Amino acid sequence: MQTPQGFEIDFVYFANVPPYDDVKKHKHKDFTYHLIEAQDDELTAYLFKIFDDAPTDCKVEILFTSNDKQENEIRSLILKIAMSKTEKPKEDAANDLSMKMYEVTDGRNETGLFIIMQGRKGTSTRVVLARFKRNEGLRNQGGDLEYIKNVFTKSKHYKLAIFEDVPSDKSFWKGYAIDRQSTAQTYKPFSIFWIEDFLQAQTALTSVQGTDQLSKIVKQLLKQTTSLEQQEQIISAVVNLRSKPNAQVSMKSFCQTYLTPELTAIVQKEVNDDFFNSVFDVNKEVMNKELGATVLTLDEGITAYVPTFKYGKHVTEEVKNGKKTVTIQGVLKEKRVNTGKEPVSAEAKPKKAKKNK
Amino acid sequence: MRPDSNDIKEAYISIYKTLETIAGNLETQLGDQLSGTPHIDRVTCRVKGIDSFMTKAEKVNPDGSLKYAVPMKEIQDMIGARIIVYYKTDVPAVREFVKSLYRTAESTTIVPDDVTKFGYEGFHMICFIPNNIFSTRDTPLVSNFFELQIKTLQQHAWSQAEHGLGYKPGVVLTLEQQRLLAFLAAQSWAADKALAELVTGQVAGEEG
């Protein structure tokens, strides 16, 4: 049976996966699982929608983690589902995947409805993995299939991953993921449970690559922007980011948190969607090198801060009479005299009490 | 079923320009990132020529079956980057830096499999093309990977010279030819070792 987007669905698998029990140490055969025949009903329509929408739903690019020999256990199981011509090897691989899910699920994640779907279109094969949080209120309502239908229609919390490629021994290394439960601020737990622990994958960019590219975009943005207000907004965004240890960001979360929609629109024009949505750890070293400030301490108590990446353009160093001197050159935008007191507006100034004569 | 050779060739030609753009961007990025690193002789990035790709796509296993069932997916060195360093002692730092910059699927130090033999040596990695360089989301034919080699000047010189002789894998060389090639490889290996010892100060200079 075909999805509305023309994928021929070969395999649909469900399993109820409980949190890992250290005492019972379940085997996959202990989980309730089903192989579903696609048919013309509400459940199938819902599944097909998830399957067809997965590429637009999943924004975060992920890569399977390799052991340096192009091997990854979860990728091998997904590849088996994608490449097997018959149902039995697919079912075995799906059971192994649900067992892996069981091993990484702890009490915080509760029992989850784990789904695997696989379909083909042209030379491409797509495998979609999803985990729906089990809604306690729905337990034991009718049979398992009725339960599944209820979870789908009532649960808004799910994790999803899609892998699509031309099947071969060297393909299916890259995918995309999403957690409908997480916000940018809570990305880390999602990344640990779903991407790292279960999928044995990692986000697409290393911290060095991501931070370097973010820095380049910020510098480009500063160059393009003539408004002092916008420049201050960008600089303050950088200062904020620098002050957060172990921050995990994407260009998208950076824009949403610190920049106006106008500046965000400029950024989006400069980068592709995959980079815009890619999540990476901020690398302090790269950040300081690319967007840090050089502090110049001169004689007579003079201190000047110059963004390191603007240093060569605005600062000239010379050696005169054996002493290094510096000249800072630029267009003066604003001059403030630090009085050491909080500025007080004229209206707020307390009036002097009239002296009683 | 594997597409016929013409279809494979056409598919490769259709993405060739894109591969050239990616290779250019990778070369610029690696060059920029390594610009302050000492002892870097050069950084280059190239796209595998169409004939060379087709020769590889047509390779067969010892049993006569085709080596690549899906050449467009299985040949991972459509784009090849090479970093040439002065000394063997420079390789570990460059390797670690490259690993911090790119996600990798494979890394191998290639040395002859017998201690009594001399031949090709180098460090090879299969890296993922980062999405800020190119997003492969809508272009499934473009590989997700590029190959990166790190070699010393001596290793590079030997492999280029050997490649220039035109000996192809599978061609049976005479014993004399094999011994001469091994001799040259041994000279390169010894030169690398001597340079490494000099650069790390293992060979002390005389005073006075």
The answer to whether the CB atoms of B140 and A166 lie below 8 A apart is yes
- Estimate to the nearest angstrom the gap between the alpha carbon of A100 and the chain centroid: 23
Searching chain A, which residue's CA lies closest to the CA of residue B132?
Answer: A275
- What is the average per-residue pLDDT within A176-195? 73
Query: Do residues A158 and A64 lie in contact, with contact meaning Cβ atoms separated by under 8 Å?
Result: no
DSSP state of A238: H
Find the mean pLDDT for residues B137-154. Answer: 93
Pairing of strands B79-85, B145-152: parallel
Reported as type and span, the H/E element at residue B22 is helix B5-33
Tens-digit pLDDT profile for residues A293-319: 788 889 888 888 787 777 888 899 999
Report yes or no: B140 at the A interface, CB cutoff 8 Å.
yes
Asked whether the beta carbons of A279 and A249 are under 8 A apart, the reply is yes
pLDDT of B111 strictly over 70: yes
Distance from CA of B82 to the nearest CA of A (A): 19
Rounded Cα distance, B177 and A297, in Å: 67
Residues of B in contact with A279 (CB under 8 A): none
Between A24 and A272, residue with greater pLDDT: A272
The mean per-residue pLDDT over the stretch A340-355 comes to 50
pLDDT at A140: 39
If you write DSSP's letter for every residue of A201-213 in order, what string do you get? EEESS-HHHHHHH
Greater confidence (B114 vs B153) lies with B153
Q: A208–B137: do the CB atoms touch at under 8 Å?
A: no
DSSP state of A8: E
With contacts defined as CB-CB under 8 Å, which chain B residues touch A70? Answer: 105-106, 126
Vertex A178, ends A176 and A179: CA angle to 5°? 160
CA distances from A92 to A24, A322, B17, B35, B187 (A): 22, 78, 42, 51, 54
Give the separation between CA A147 and CA A15, rounded to whole angstroms: 12
Whether chain B has a CB inside 8 Å of the CB on A22: the answer is no
Please indicate whether, in this complex, the C-beta atoms of B144 and A174 are within 8 angstroms of each other: yes
CA B23 to chain centre: 14
**Of A59 and B115, the one with more pLDDT:** A59
Q: What's the CA angle centered on B78, arms B75 and B83, to 5 degrees?
A: 120
Tens of pLDDT, residue by residue over B6-57, are: 999 999 999 999 999 999 999 999 999 999 899 999 999 999 999 999 999 9
The ipTM of this complex is 0.90
Per the CB < 8 A criterion, the answer to whether A222 and A85 are in contact is: no
- Please determine, for residue B116, whether its predicted confidence score (pLDDT) is greater than 70: yes
Cα gap A141→B63, rounded to integer Å: 58
Return the pLDDT at A346: 46
Tell which wins on pLDDT, B74 or A180: B74
Q: Would you call B135 and A272 a contact, using CB atoms and an 8 Å cutoff?
A: yes
pLDDT in tens, A79-102: 999 999 999 999 999 999 999 999
**Bridge partners of A250?**
A279
Per DSSP, the residues of A51-114 read: HHHHHHH--EEEEEPP-SBS--HHHHHHHHHHH-SSHHHHHHHHHHHHHHHHHH--GGG--EEE
Identify the pLDDT of residue B2.
85
| CB count in 10 Å sphere of residue A270 | 14
Q: A260 at the B interface (CB within 8 A)?
A: no
Question: Hey, which residues does A88 pair with through a beta bridge?
Answer: none
With cut-offs at 50, 70 and 90, classify the pLDDT of residue B81. very high
Mean pLDDT in residue range A198-223? 95
Please report which confidence band the pLDDT of residue B120 belongs to, taking 50, 70 and 90 as the band edges: confident
Residue A347 reports pLDDT greater than 50: no
* B106, B108, B131 member nearest A204 (Cβ): B131
Contact call for B130 and A174, based on CB within 8 A:
no
Q: Report A:115-134 residues touching B (Cβ under 8 A).
A: 124
Could you tell me the two tokens for A119?
Answer: 């379909």
DSSP letter for A283, please: -
Report how many helices (DSSP H) and strands (DSSP E) chain B contains, helices first.
Answer: 6, 5
- Two structure tokens written together for B115: 């201690």
Average pLDDT in chain B:
91
Mean pLDDT of A34-56: 83
Q: What's the pLDDT score for residue A188?
A: 65
pLDDT average, residue stretch A193-222: 95
How high is the pLDDT of residue A28? 67
Residues A268, A260 contacting (CB under 8 angstroms): no
Is the distance from CB of B37 to CB of B94 less than 8 angstroms?
A: yes
What is the rounded distance in angstroms from the CA atom of residue A220 to the CA atom of residue A110? 45
CA A281 to chain centre: 10
What is the per-residue pLDDT across B146-159, written as a single tens digit (0 to 9) for each? 999 999 999 998 88
DSSP state of B200: T
**DSSP assignment of A313-350:** HHEEEEEETTEEEEEE-----------SS----TTTSP
Per-residue model confidence as pLDDT tens digits over A147-179: 666 766 666 678 999 999 999 999 999 999 987
